[in-house]
Structure 1
Amino acid sequence: MKGKRRVADSAAGVWHCSHGHVPGQVLAVGQGDVGQLGLGEEVLERTRAALVRLPAPVVQVEAGGMHTVCLTENGEVYTFGCNDEGGLGRDTTEEGSETTPGRVALPKPTVQVSAGDSHTAALARDGTVFIWGSFRDNSGVIGLLEAWEKSVAPKQLHTTEAIVKISSGNDHLVLLTLSGSLLTCGCGEQGQLGRVPERFTNRGGRGGLARLLVPQAVRIKGSGRLKFQDVFCGAYFTFALTSEGRVYCFGLSNYHQLGTQSPVSVFMPQVTAGFQGSAVSWVSFSGGQHHSLCLDSTGCALSWGMGTNMQLGTGEEDDAWSPVQMRGKQLDGHAVLAVSSGGQHTMLLIKDQS
């Protein structure tokens, strides 16, 4: 995938994923009723992209279901939005504090973040991962590191190998290891873990919630030793790219979002051709619950799907069933570095205007 490469950290002796981290400014658009836009208590929605004030240039922004996570160029993490399950990872007892960016206390500088509906994860330079909040299934909270237990502050997620990239769906987390393996944890009801048969997805079956919450490797039968080089998550699905350029997918595909012919969930990884053969190269994509965004190699941000809450950034509430280009004063004349979509809001990272 263009714009993503692996680089060595000679000081730490650990490899990590470089995501083209160019410092920029954050824009927000869509619904902000619980503070997920980061624009303060008075701003409940925005039909056009608005600037979010942060104390330092930002290199990554991730929209969770109802919260947002920003990573600054100095490795600090700022969050805002809904904190009901601890997804902000910080104290929000002061009235209104969840509606503006606040720093998360982490023991190590962060190089990448990811966000789901009620959980957030942070990858440190040495390959360790910290996580907070909770995973949920259709019946409610299932826990985070332990069954039924959520965490309102960051906790380390222990793995036997260094992690080079993290990616979150609504309620699942995917970890790419140094050797090219995939580890998954969280809810598996729609097949998004890629390693739990359908009969065991209801809270782990006989194995209990540990089957879901403890990160375990994704295995692909008959494929030998596959080495993955990148991974992306939508709300309820996962895409993984191998070093040979093959794309594997698993999870929900009721709107053919996996590129599969049949609109049914995929519980074990299979190859998809649905995102191949394009004349342009895709730098990244992000899937919300009912809308999607993609960024191509020319710097264009495209959006499609449900637009009821203005999350497409067109200034209208109409749905769009094919990609349309975002418009707005804050976007005019500025290159878009990255995009991320939540349940009803969209965040953009644009090239610094200074």
Structure 2
Amino acid sequence: MPPKRKSVLPKSGDVKENGVPTKKAKIFHPSHRSERGTVLALGQGDVGQLGLGEDYMERKRPTVVPFPEEASGNIVDIFAAGMHTICVTENGEVYTFGCNDEGALGRDTSEEGSEFTPHKVELSEKVVQVSGGDSHTAALTDTGEVYAWGTFRDGNGPFGLTVEGMKKLPHHLPIPATVVQISSGNDHLAMLTDQGDIYTIGCGSQGQIGRIAECFSIRGGRKGLSLLLEPALVIRPKIRGQGKVFFEDVWCTPYCTFARVRGGGVYGWGLNNYHHLGVEDIKSWFRPVGIESFSHIKVKSVCGGQHHSILLDSEGTVHSLGRVDYGRLGLGDECEESHEPSAIGSLKNEEVTQVACGSSVSFALTSNGEVYAWGMGSNYQLGNGEEDDILTPEKMSGKQLESRKVIAVSSGGQHTLLLAKDK
């Protein structure tokens, strides 16, 4: 048998003092954010996802989002979901705004207009990371517990967050392990544990949960919804002579999941109709497959839109693959669809620290706090004040950015968020 591997991730669980359990240790993962900043929003906001109140349906340039006094300037994490927004304060409190038709805000919005501005979600534990999709939100606590609210959807509409149905308030997910990282697609959720495992729940019709056969992918088939809505393990692939791989990062795109393994290499599963999974065969993949086309890249992170993917490598170089329409790959108008990632040449002189994607748009954040944007311009998500598509990365500008350095970017279905601090 191969030697037992030691986790590179700090473990949590019950800390024992003289053999007596005391309290759970605090978790850590490199994806957690801690730098405070001010939230700026741009794009379309007809259901409140900009957080600017009922009078602002769109913003062509980044605009400061007003938060209650206790949270203002104190945000450390942002997430632009399909049509709602999630923010986390330094103290681990969660604020949401946007569409709440199916419970994605996790709070009461019966007061008229309350979904259009940031309000706190009632959670007794400190949150260190959030994610969201079309109609769901998830929150990871500092002790490795996961809460979620809202609902998952498929081609036939909503089918619940649990087998009991939609959850409009935070619901604890029964994960029998310590979770250190979470990531959401449009309608699925992946949770990485400190032991290198990944649990998934949600829609599986394109293979995105990575643990069921295609015959059960539509609402669980004869096995029922519990197959999809009860968290279960993705079977870790084995490498000959080394045993099972150890997952150390997980990233969801709308209909795909990517996972990096310790020692290098990326596995993926889900929709591949535009080659955006990085596999030559355009079928949907229902189990983890090693992505050979990424093997020459030391992948630092992965993000994606509906039909394209963006990779950031350890050298700060940005690569793109998948569908070419609207300029979402950032490669100009001469590129062709491919499962092979292509480096974005116009960013070669920039040290990129983060990448992000909306449905048909892409972003790169540089080490000096500047944001480059490209892709479909029709929702004003790109921050250049125009509706024209941008085929190669263009630096985002605006009055609110003149005195600020951007430290994080996130983009959803029709809007984009920036987290920035004073220069």
Q: Which residue of 2 aligns with 1:335?
A: 405
Structure 1 position 188, deviation (Å): 1.1
CA separation in 1, counterparts of 2:355 and 2:270? 16
Q: Which residue of 2 aligns with 1:346?
A: 416
The structure with higher relative contact order (CA 8 Å, sep 6+) is: 1
Q: Which residue of 2 aligns with 1:276?
A: 297
* Structure 1 residues not aligned, in runs of 5+: none
Q: Which residue of 1 aligns with 2:355?
A: 285
Q: Which residue of 2 aligns with 1:188?
A: 204
1:44-66 Cα distance to aligned partner (Å, 9 max, x none)? 00111100112321000101100
Structure 1 position 170, deviation (Å): 0.8
CA separation in 2, counterparts of 1:257 and 1:349? 28
Flag the 1:209–1:231 CA change in 2: closer, same or farther, 3 A.
Answer: same
Structure 1 residue aligned with 2:277, among 258, 267, 280? 258
SS at match of 1:36: coil
1:289-315 Cα distance to aligned partner (Å, 9 max, x none)? 222334355544333322211112222
1:89-130 Cα distance to aligned partner (Å, 9 max, x none)? 011011110000010001211111111111111111111111
CA separation in 1, counterparts of 2:366 and 2:210? 27
Structure 1 residue aligned with 2:28, among 1, 10, 16? 16
8 Å contact kept, 1:235–1:287: no
Q: Which residue of 2 aligns with 1:105?
A: 122
CA separation in 2, counterparts of 1:329 and 1:262? 46
- Counting aligned pairs with the same residue, the percent is 51
Structure 1 residue aligned with 2:194, among 154, 168, 178? 178
Q: How does 1:1-354 map to 2 (within 5 A)?
A: 12-18=24-30, 19-55=32-68, 56=71, 57-146=74-163, 149-223=165-239, 224-272=243-291, 273-274=293-294, 276=297, 279-280=315-316, 283-297=353-367, 299-352=369-422
- Moved runs in structure 1, 4+ residues, more than 6 A? 8-11
CA separation in 1, counterparts of 2:95 and 2:395? 28
CA separation in 2, counterparts of 1:263 and 1:317? 31
CA separation in 2, counterparts of 1:125 and 1:167? 16
8 Å contact kept, 1:234–1:288: no
* Structure 2 residues not aligned, in runs of 5+: 1-7, 16-22, 299-312, 318-351
CA separation in 2, counterparts of 1:118 and 1:109? 23
Q: Which amino acid aligns with 2:270?
A: G
Q: Which amino acid aligns with 1:107?
A: S
Query: Which has the larger displacement, 94-103 or 305-314?
Result: 305-314
Flag the 1:181–1:338 CA change in 2: closer, same or farther, 3 A.
Answer: same
8 Å contact kept, 1:46–1:310: yes
8 Å contact kept, 1:14–1:162: no
Query: Which has the larger displacement, 292-301 or 335-344?
Result: 292-301
Flag the 1:102–1:294 CA change in 2: closer, same or farther, 3 A.
Answer: same
Query: Which has the larger displacement, 227-236 or 129-138?
Result: 227-236
CA separation in 2, counterparts of 1:284 and 1:212? 31
Bigger CA radius of gyration: 2
Q: What's the TM-score, normalizing by structure 1?
A: 0.91
Alignment coverage as a number of residue pairs: 348
CA separation in 2, counterparts of 1:294 and 1:252? 24
